[in-house]
């Protein structure tokens, strides 16, 4: 703990002691990545946000990971799990010869210790903990799950955020970040940069690279994640050659990047989908007719056009999963399309809407949320709703959202998860508090199904229920725009950008 009593004078004297790190670094082989912000911590179990997962996937590895179809394939596991007939016992064999960054060997003890912490700290882990009878090592190279009841999404949960650390480093509050990934953590200066260097003794899984699966090679000697919260600054930095990669750029900058000689724009198809989630616990939208009136009134095309300004960056599709995804289906999709103010007005009439204002919560920290809200307000007012648009910063939004008395609709976005049952509105406790018998019934059918075909029909049933109960309005699918400096080869766009197999420019 630095003695800071003389802090006031030393703060002025910082001039002399400016901590310039003059580590000589190999001229070649550095990748500078501009991210949307500083990760609160590198503990992906406790804080599974996108920015943390993006950086952590280079340092830590999970038992399984997602391939191009977002199906779970082995990573630290050597093969798919051997599941007993009754589906209650899962044996997962582990790969041999894998070592941690600190040189210690990787074995089942590390897996058990890591997953036990995961089941205490991680929100998905806690749900899994409820249905797990026991977890034990089966020799040094395998672990066995004993389940209380069948649980289809288990494989998906073991492919995200359930990172494996050496058992010695497991603690309530992680302090040393040692993993098995292709890169090691060298230094982290909050709000300035997180510096990773190549882990030379890395043992890569086999197979042709597809999404996060397959061969991983740490070509760049060093990767440096630099938090640049302001989107425009990321764009200007990319164009002026300061960054090798700039994440989550405003789509309006596409043409500028395309024309610039320093970088090329990279589009990641179907990065996610914005939604207007409704409060079914208290207030106006407890009435189903009004919820359906909201769905009817809105025109997704105009909302997406305002937010993403160009057809190249969005598509309008009622199905919750877009084409090309295993879970894509149009089953049950209704009240989605052109926006029908008259129809909505009739529903308002029927519901006896008395003009109390509809409170919409949004934030400008995600500019497209705000733009969608602006257009939605126009269409809802055209249908006869009174709208009170509340623009707050993200921290206030996440707090108000937890209190059912303070809002009717909040705008957010999410990705297309590997397992459909992990979609936010499916869990009862997620703000909006969507609870209905037909939902519970459809979910249990899904959980109980084992084969892929069974899961798909169960999901189609669930999607139909979701559209009928109308807990949210899916606006559309948007593509992510990022920018890659010219001369950098081998980058393949994925939901969490990864930089193994990528060769930095000379």
Partner 1 sequence: MNRIARALLGRLAGMLLVLAIVATVVFVIVRVTPGDPAAVMLGSDATPQDIADLRSRIGLDAPLIVQYGQFMLGLLRGDLGQSIFLGQSVGEALLARAEPTFFLTLFSILIACAIALPVGVFSAVRRGTLFDQVVVTLTMIASSVPSFWLGLILIQVFAVGLGLLPASGYGGPESGFLERIQHLVLPAIALGVVNSALITRFTRAAMLDVLGDDYVRTARAKGATETRVVLKHALRNALVPIITVIGLSVAMLVAGAVVTETVFGLPGVGNLVVSAVLRRDYPVIQGTLLVVAAIYVLINFITDMLYILVDPRVRL
Partner 2 sequence: MTDTTNFLAAPRLLLRNRAALLGAVILAIVVLAALLAPLIAPYAPNKLSIVNKLQPPSASHLFGTDEFGRDILSRAIFAGRVSLLVSLGVVALSTVLGVILGVAAGYFRALDAPISRLLDAMMSFPDILLAIALVAALGPSVATVIIALGITYAPRLARIVRGSTLVLREMPYIEAAITLGLPTWRVLTRHLLLNLASPVLVQATFVFASAMLAEASLSFLGVGVSTDMPTWGTMLASGREYMNSAPWLMIFPGLAIVFSVLSLQLLGDGLRDLVDPRLTKER
Contact between 354 and partner 1 (CB under 8 A)?
A: no
Buried b / exposed e along 380-395 (16+ C-beta atoms within 10 A): beebbbebebbeeeee
Binding site for partner 2 (CB under 8 A): 231-232, 250, 252-253, 255-256, 302, 305-306, 309, 364-365, 367, 371, 374-375, 377-378, 389-393, 395-396
Secondary structure tally for the chain: helices H, strands E: 14, 18
Residue closer to partner 1, measured from CB, 237 or 480: 237
Q: How far is the CB of 456 from partner 1 (least distance, A)?
A: 24
Q: How far is the CB of 267 from partner 2 (least distance, A)?
A: 18
Q: How far is the CB of 9 from partner 1 (least distance, A)?
A: 9
**Which one of residues 154, 239, 257, 307 is an interface residue with partner 1 (CB under 8 A)?**
239
Contact between 264 and partner 1 (CB under 8 A)?
A: no
Which residues lie closer than 8 Å to 363 by C-beta, 6 or more apart?
A: 369, 370, 391, 392, 393, 394, 396, 397
Residue 378 interface partner, choices partner 1, partner 2, none, CB cut-off 5-8 Å depending on type: partner 2
Contact between 25 and partner 1 (CB under 8 A)?
A: yes
Site for partner 1 in 31-60 (CB under 8 A): 32, 37-38, 40-41, 46-49
**Cα separation of 178 and 102, whole Å?**
7
C-beta separation of 47 from 41 below 8 A: yes
The single residue listed with the structure tokens 């596409």 is: 254
C-beta separation of 503 from 264 below 8 A: no
The tokens for 112 are 């058990």
Contact between 233 and partner 1 (CB under 8 A)?
A: yes
Residue 21 interface partner, choices partner 2, partner 1, none, CB cut-off 5-8 Å depending on type: partner 1
Q: How far is the CB of 398 from partner 1 (least distance, A)?
A: 5
Alpha carbon distances (Å) from 259 to 25, 157, 178, 251, 263: 32, 42, 42, 14, 9
The tokens for 366 are 């995600």
**Cα separation of 56 and 305, whole Å?**
34
**Cα separation of 442 and 152, whole Å?**
13
- Phi-psi map region of 289: left, alpha, beta (phi>0 left; psi -120 to 50 alpha): alpha
Residue 250 interface partner, choices partner 2, partner 1, none, CB cut-off 5-8 Å depending on type: partner 2
Residue 253 interface partner, choices partner 2, partner 1, none, CB cut-off 5-8 Å depending on type: partner 2
Q: 3-class DSSP state for residue 134? A: strand
Contact between 1 and partner 1 (CB under 8 A)?
A: yes
Residue among 179, 267, 185 nearest 225 (CA): 185
Q: How far is the CB of 231 from partner 2 (least distance, A)?
A: 7
Please report which residue ranges of 360-407 form alpha helices under DSSP H: 367-383, 394-401
In sequence order, what E strands does 356-471 have?
A: 358-362, 387-391, 409-414
Residue closer to partner 1, measured from CB, 2 or 85: 2
Residue closer to partner 2, measured from CB, 102 or 230: 230
Residue closer to partner 1, measured from CB, 230 or 452: 230
**Which one of residues 394, 494, 503, 505 is an interface residue with partner 1 (CB under 8 A)?**
394
Residue closer to partner 2, measured from CB, 185 or 305: 305
Residue closer to partner 1, measured from CB, 338 or 403: 403
Contact between 18 and partner 1 (CB under 8 A)?
A: yes
**Cα separation of 466 and 321, whole Å?**
13
**Which one of residues 167, 301, 309, 424 is an interface residue with partner 1 (CB under 8 A)?**
424
Q: Which residues bind partner 1 (CB under 8 A)?
A: 1-8, 10-12, 14-15, 18-25, 32, 37-38, 40-41, 46-49, 123, 126, 187, 189-193, 195, 224, 226, 228-230, 233, 236-237, 239-240, 242, 365, 393-396, 398-400, 402, 412, 424, 429-430
């Amino acid at each position: 703990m630095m003695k800071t009593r003389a802090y006031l004078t030393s703060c002025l004297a910082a001039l002399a002691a400016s901590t310039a790190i003059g580590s000589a670094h190999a001229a070649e082989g550095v990748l500078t990545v501009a991210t949307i912000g500083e990760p609160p911590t590198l503990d992906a179990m406790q804080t599974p946000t996108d920015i943390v997962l993006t950086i952590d996937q280079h340092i830590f590895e999970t038992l399984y990971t997602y391939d191009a179809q977002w199906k779970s394939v082995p990573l630290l596991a050597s093969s798919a799990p051997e599941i007993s007939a009754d589906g209650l016992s899962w044996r997962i064999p582990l790969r041999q010869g894998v070592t941690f960054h600190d040189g210690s060997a990787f074995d089942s003890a590390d897996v058990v210790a890591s997953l036990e912490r995961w089941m205490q700290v991680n929100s998905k882990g806690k749900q899994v903990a409820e249905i797990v009878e026991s977890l034990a090592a089966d020799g040094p190279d395998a672990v066995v799950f004993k389940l209380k009841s069948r649980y289809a999404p288990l494989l998906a949960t073991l492919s995200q955020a359930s990172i494996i650390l050496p058992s010695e480093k497991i603690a309530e509050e992680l302090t040393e970040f040692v993993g098995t990934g292709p890169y090691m953590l060298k230094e982290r200066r909050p709000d300035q940069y997180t510096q990773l260097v190549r882990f030379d003794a890395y043992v890569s899984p086999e197979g042709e690279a597809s999404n996060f699966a397959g061969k991983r090679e740490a070509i760049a000697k060093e990767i440096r994640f630099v938090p640049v919260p302001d989107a425009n600054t990321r764009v200007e930095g990319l164009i002026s050659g300061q960054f090798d990669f700039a994440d989550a750029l405003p789509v309006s900058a596409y043409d500028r990047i395309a024309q610039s000689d320093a970088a090329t724009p990279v589009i990641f198809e179907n990065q996610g989908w914005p939604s207007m989630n409704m409060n079914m616990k208290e207030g106006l939208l407890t009435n189903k007719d009004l919820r359906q009136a909201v769905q009817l009134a809105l025109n997704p095309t105009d909302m997406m056009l305002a937010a993403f300004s160009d057809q190249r960056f969005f598509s309008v599709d009622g199905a919750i999963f877009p084409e090309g995804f295993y879970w894509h289906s149009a089953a049950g999709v209704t009240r989605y399309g052109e926006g029908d103010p008259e129809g909505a007005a009739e529903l308002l009439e029927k519901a006896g809407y008395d003009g109390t204002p509809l409170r919409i919560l949004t934030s400008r920290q995600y500019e497209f949320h705000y733009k969608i809200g602006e257009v939605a307000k126009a269409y809802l007012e055209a249908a006869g709703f009174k709208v009170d648009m509340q623009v707050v910063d993200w921290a206030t939004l996440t707090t108000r959202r937890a209190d059912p008395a303070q809002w009717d609709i909040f705008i957010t976005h999410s990705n297309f998860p590997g397992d459909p049952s992990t979609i936010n509105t499916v869990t009862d406790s997620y703000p909006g508090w969507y609870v209905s018998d037909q939902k519970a019934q459809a979910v249990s059918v899904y959980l109980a199904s084992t084969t892929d075909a069974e899961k798909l029909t169960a999901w189609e049933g669930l999607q139909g229920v979701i559209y009928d109960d109308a807990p949210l309005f899916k606006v559309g699918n948007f593509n992510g725009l990022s920018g890659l400096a010219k001369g950098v080869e081998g980058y393949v766009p994925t939901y969490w950008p990864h930089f193994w197999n990528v060769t930095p420019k000379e």
